[in-house]
Structure 1
Amino acid sequence: MRWNAWAFLAVPLALFAVFMLLPIVMAAVISFTDYAIVGDSEWVGLENYTRIFQDAFFWIALRNTAYYTLLYVPLGLVVALGAALLLNRSRRAVRLFRTLFYIPVVSSTVATATIWYWLLNPQKGLLNVALGWFGIDGPAWLYDSQWAMPAIVLMSVWAGFGVNMIIFLGGLQGVPGDLYEASRLDGANAWQQFRYVTLPSLSRTTFLVTTLLIIGAFQVFDQAYVLTKGGPGNSTVTMVYYIYNKGFGALEMGYASALSFVLFLIILIFSLANARLSNPSGDAGERRSRRLARKAVSAR
Structure 2
Amino acid sequence: MATESQRSVTDAITRVRHALTKLKRSVGITEDQNNLMGAAFVAPNIIVFSAFLLGPVLYAFYISFQEWSILAGSGQWVGLTNYVTVLQPLPVSIENGGLSWNPEVFTDPATSLWWYSLKNTFVYAIGTVPLQIFGGLAVALMLDKRVRFKKTYRAAYFMPVMLSGAASAVMWRWFLAGDGVINGLLPTFLEHNWAGDPGTALGGVMLMAIWGGIGSNMIFFLAGLQNIPEELYEAARIDGASRWHRFRHVTWPNLGNTNFFVFVMAIISAFQVFGIALVFSEGGPVYSTTTSVLLIYQRAFEEGAFGEGAAMAFVLFLIIFTFSYYQYRYRDQAEVDY
TM range (shorter): 0.7 to 0.9
RMSD between aligned residues: 2.1
The change in CA–CA distance for 1:45 and 1:217 in structure 2 (over 3 A counts) is same
Structure 1 window deviating more from structure 2 (271-280 vs 55-64): it is 271-280
Match of 2:80 among 46, 60, 76: 46
- Residue equivalent to 2:149: 93
What is the deviation of 1:123?
2.9
Residues 177 and 196 of structure 2 are in contact (CA less than 8 Å); yes or no, is this contact kept in structure 1? Answer: no
Letter in 2 for 1:10: A
SS in 2 for 1:34: strand
Letter in 2 for 1:50: V
What is the deviation of 1:155?
0.6
1:242-283 CA-partner distances (Å, limit 9, x unpaired): 000110011111111111111011111222344456422122
Letter in 2 for 1:33: Q
- Which runs of structure 2 are paired with 1:58-73 in the superposition (5 Å)? 58-73=114-129
- Residue equivalent to 1:291: none
Match of 1:170 among 223, 231, 235: 223
Residues 139 and 147 of structure 1 are in contact (CA less than 8 Å); yes or no, is this contact kept in structure 2? Answer: no
Q: Distance in 1 between matches of 2:115 and 2:260?
A: 28
> Within the alignment, does 1:256 sit opposite 2:309 as a pair?
yes
1:137-171 CA-partner distances (Å, limit 9, x unpaired): 14421111121111111111212332211111111
User: Greater RCO between the two (CA within 8 Å, min separation 6)?
Assistant: 1
Match of 1:148 among 201, 205, 210: 201
Structure 1 window deviating more from structure 2 (175-184 vs 11-20): it is 175-184
What is the deviation of 1:91?
5.7
Structure 1 window deviating more from structure 2 (116-125 vs 248-257): it is 116-125
> Within the alignment, does 1:184 sit opposite 2:237 as a pair?
yes
Residues 176 and 195 of structure 2 are in contact (CA less than 8 Å); yes or no, is this contact kept in structure 1? Answer: yes
- Residue equivalent to 1:296: none
- Residue equivalent to 2:22: none
Letter in 2 for 1:128: N
TM-score by length of 2: 0.77
- Residue equivalent to 1:294: none
Residues 52 and 58 of structure 1 are in contact (CA less than 8 Å); yes or no, is this contact kept in structure 2? Answer: yes
Structure 1 window deviating more from structure 2 (99-108 vs 223-232): it is 99-108
SS in 2 for 1:233: coil
Letter in 2 for 1:62: L
- Residue equivalent to 1:76: 132
What is the deviation of 1:206?
0.6
- Residue equivalent to 2:334: 281
* Matched length: 282
Residues 256 and 335 of structure 2 are in contact (CA less than 8 Å); yes or no, is this contact kept in structure 1? Answer: no
- Unaligned 5+ runs, structure 2: 1-33, 90-111
What is the deviation of 1:186?
2.3
Letter in 1 for 2:167: A
Residues 164 and 209 of structure 1 are in contact (CA less than 8 Å); yes or no, is this contact kept in structure 2? Answer: yes
The change in CA–CA distance for 1:2 and 1:196 in structure 2 (over 3 A counts) is closer
- Residue equivalent to 1:128: 183
Match of 1:266 among 319, 330, 333: 319
Letter in 2 for 1:156: A
- Residue equivalent to 2:262: 209
1:119-148 CA-partner distances (Å, limit 9, x unpaired): 2123331x333443xx87144211111211
Letter in 2 for 1:111: A
- Residue equivalent to 2:275: 222
